[in-house]
Structure 1
């Protein structure tokens, strides 16, 4: 009996150690996978990407991602210059911080354009030794403009330049960040906002504010680059559109106190006939964007704030502060919010290919990084992906180059507004089905936007048949697109 008890204790000890390790990986994602010498992420192999410079199995007649560019257009052209550089910043609380910046600030400049504009961005890397790119998070654009080093371009090294060019086809709230070692570079400050205003008004508002929630160097809690929260002008009776961008890895539970509100957009895509809400927490995953609409009360303030991080607070108006939400207040649920709208995309439609992705703490289907087989698609096909979150902390799964529709949650079809998005936030136990049409040929990342998880290997590819890349990921090229 004594020997049995000792064995039991040893087994429990090992289980506790294993659980602690798993929780540590899940919480901070600080464990990274070994970067190979050279990988072809455009490989069509179903089992693994090709290593050590071996030839791709892609057809010799395949088109290169580098050649998939934006065709000529007649719309207005908006040109911006962004310089990536290391800087010493003085925060508004008087503290000095080292940061990596776009045009000397973090976040970088807010780029506001109009639906249909041709956006031209000239990037200069002044002195970021590890190289830099710009990924236009949530924007549907040509493969060559996606800003993924080793897949769509080489990293831009100190003294080098790269020009991005795409048409802003979808109005909404987006953001940009470096995708070269992004778990480090976004945290150090290489981020910014991209707002695409619609040609025609879908929701009326008097003021339009965009707010970035950021944790600089995983230390300083900043709201639009300011410590201690943000004060925005608003008068009684005015209707406010507030665009909330979570540029941090972890989910933020945002509350709105002092007024009713509507969630009018998720990941830049409008919702149909959104209902009025009051006193509900909104969970915004890493990389996600939620736009809310509310009318200022006749007296007092409106406060929008994080449940868990006191520094992320936006105060609008003057006067008495409102009563805050209870910690156990209801959580916003988009699965039955707003009004249905037929679009022909349903869980029981015919799909050309279906993929099951089981999410662990920092892996997909038990594999990590380039060992995860790509999702292979053919242009024109309809694809269904089933995500099942079995273990670990929250995973905001982000798809490049496409918008998808959320079909079901935990086996039940959505009953409210159609939800189109580029990310889906999964908590442990969640099962979601999403659908997208393969209508944008290229090589696209699908990864967790807790960027620590991505660096630890929670990243894979969606590869079109007949598309290849001249670029390589790995230590040889220096391209590391976590």
Structure 2
């Protein structure tokens, strides 16, 4: 039996301009939309010999939702059917998507009311590891289970590994009876501190899953952090990991410091690992949570003879996102974060009027961008298609924030005035307390796009804005 320590972490610790490749594989118009039904369900998150199923909200009865897999250039078509007691919407995270399909309720579409439905139909132009999740009351709906992987395969098979595994990592705040701690949903303590941190970590919807492998295999691991607010460290010690993509965007293959992948909420990483243990071995994949490492999953080697040793070099992934940055003509934009527990914010604007901090707390607007606590009346900036935007973000708070842009990838230029050593393209970046980062993007995708903290409790409490590409 898996020990209680294994899964309980104690009480909660409070792009180029062209959006489509040359050949689009369009689905026949007559085909019906496959349903993506959001509804209450049950899931065996915890060991069945210890606890019964947990009541969750799920897509088609599963959490995480079943992986949606297409090839780059193919269409994703899903009919969202809302069987929840509240409105919802689906965001297709990281995809350079048509704006009307982005799923940002209140900005790109109306929320889908209980009993209603909405058809999502878009091209997935780029290969990579992406995901889908609720984007209406996401701080609650994702805490209850509404998310899943979206895998866009390369048009031609990538031959850099024998096979691949997706590890969708999430955390849950459960009661002693193994049910979601509903009383803590919407906790102002969470909203003003680090966000909703759970006390149970799952991989692919269960605690401590067994992942069968063969000695000598080279595996592409697709890692997804689906947690509301937890920053994850994933240890791949002994597997010789090499990073090949960040947030669905290829990078030149490289090693990892201490063999650890660090993922802010919403981030993804593609990592190639070599299964180097002997047949019959059991090797844990560890996750750093609440100041300790826990065994989150086990690679269990079968008894077959080891496969031949692989070459040391890794075939890079093909890049389909083309980016044109013209820094000499860049639009300079600044975003200053403020608020939260132990912060210095005394006043902020809400509904066009300046409010003192006590009133902000009553309104549950306790974070701000440029002195505005979550209002969406005006965009942070407007840019014409093709314009380079340099965005300087200063985190004047005591907490880290996972800053996410919809519809675009961006390049990290500097951190506290020093060139970022990797300079990766990504859609989410972790901004440390009191840190200034500079990022650059090509405003390539027309429409209105959200920019927000993906610590979801921070987002609902004021850390959101938008920009328009015209």
Structure-2-length-normalised TM-score: 0.73
**Residue 369 of structure 1, aligned match among 370, 374, 386:** 374
Q: 1:400 to 1:214 in 2, by over 3 A?
A: same
Q: 2:25 aligns with which of 52, 59, 75?
A: 75
Is residue 2:129 matched to residue 1:146? no
Pair 1:358-2:358 in alignment: no
Displacement of 1:101: 0.8
Evaluate the alpha carbon distance shift between residue 315 and residue 159 of structure 1 in structure 2; reply closer, same or farther with a 3 A threshold.
Answer: same
Asked whether 1:255 is paired with 2:235, we answer yes
After superposition, give the CA deviation of every residue in 1:249-274 in whole Å (9 maximum; x if it has no partner). 121111112221101111011111x2
Q: Is the 8 A contact 1:182 1:451 kept in 2?
A: yes
Does 2:123 match 1:167? yes
Which residue of structure 2 aligns with residue 409 of structure 1? 415
How far apart in 1 are the matches of 2:375 and 2:295?
Answer: 36
Q: Is the 2:335–2:394 Cα contact (8 Å) retained in structure 1? A: yes
| Residues 348-371 of structure 1 deviation map (CA, whole Å, 9 limit, x = unaligned) | 821331111122343222321016
Quick one: structure 1 residues 171 and 415, their matched pair in 2 at CA, closer, same or farther if it must change by over 3 Å? Answer: same
Cα deviation, residue 278, structure 1: 6.2
Q: Distance in 2 between matches of 1:264 and 1:425?
A: 19
Q: Structure 1 residue aligned with 2:406, among 400, 405, 416?
A: 400
Give, in angstroms, the shift of residue 294 of structure 1: 1.1
Q: Secondary structure at the match of 1:93?
A: coil
Aligned with 1:369: secondary structure? coil
SS of 2:210 mapped into structure 1: strand
- Structure 2 alignment gaps of length 5 or more: 1-12, 173-179, 181-197, 304-321, 341-366
2:195 alignment partner in structure 1: none
- In structure 2, C-alpha distance between the alignment counterparts of 1:464 and 1:354, rounded to whole Å: 15
CA distance in 1, matches of 2:432, 2:118: 38
Matching residue of 1:454: 459
Matched ranges for 1:303-382 at <5 A: 303-308=284-289, 313-318=296-301, 349-360=327-338, 361=340, 362-370=367-375, 374-382=380-388
CA deviations on 1:208-252 (whole Å, 9 max, x unpaired) are 11111112344542211112x121111111101111111111211
Q: TM-score, normalised by structure 1?
A: 0.72
| Deviation (angstroms), 1:413 | 2.3
Structure-to-structure mapping, 1:11-90, within 5 angstroms: 74-77=24-27, 80-90=34-44
- CA shift, 1:81, in A, is 1.9
Alignment of 1:81-480 (within 5 A): 81-94=35-48, 95-126=52-83, 128-202=84-158, 204-216=160-172, 217=180, 218-227=198-207, 229-248=208-227, 249-272=229-252, 274-277=253-256, 279-299=258-278, 300-308=281-289, 313-318=296-301, 349-360=327-338, 361=340, 362-370=367-375, 374-416=380-422, 418-465=423-470
The answer on whether the counterparts of 1:70 and 1:165 sit within 8 Å (CA) in structure 2 is: no
Helix, strand or coil at the partner of 1:188: coil
Q: Is the 8 A contact 2:80 2:119 kept in 1?
A: yes
Structure with larger Rg: 1
Contact 2:202 2:296 in 1 (8 A): no
Equivalent position SS for 1:130: coil
CA distance in 2, matches of 1:278, 1:456: 34
- Given that 1:100 and 1:190 are in contact with CA atoms closer than 8 Å, whether structure 2 keeps it comes out as yes
Superposed CA offset, 1:441-468 (max 9, x none)? 1111000000010011101111234xxx
Quote the Cα distance in structure 2 between the aligned partners of 1:277 and 1:212.
20
Cα deviation, residue 375, structure 1: 2.1
TM-fit CA distance, 1:143: 0.7
In the alignment, is the contact (CA less than 8 A) between 2:212 and 2:302 conserved in 1? Answer: no
Unaligned runs of 5+ in 1: 1-26, 29-68, 321-342, 466-482
Which is bigger in relative contact order (C-alpha 8 A, separation at least 6)?
A: 1
Q: Is the 8 A contact 2:286 2:297 kept in 1?
A: yes
Distance 1:89 1:196, change over 3 A: same
Once residues 402 and 147 of structure 1 are traced to their aligned partners in structure 2, the CA distance between those partners, rounded to angstroms, is 15
Aligned Cα RMSD in Å? Answer: 2.8
The worse-fitting range, judged by mean Cα deviation, of 276-285 and 423-432 is 276-285
1:120/1:164 contact within 8 Å kept: yes
How has the CA–CA distance of structure 1 residues 108 and 307 changed in structure 2, closer, same or farther, with 3 Å as cutoff? same
Cα distance change of structure 1 residues 312 and 355 upon mapping to structure 2, 3 Å threshold: farther
1:319 is displaced (CA, Å) by: 8.6
Deviation, 1:96, is: 2.9
CA distance in 1, matches of 2:41, 2:406: 30
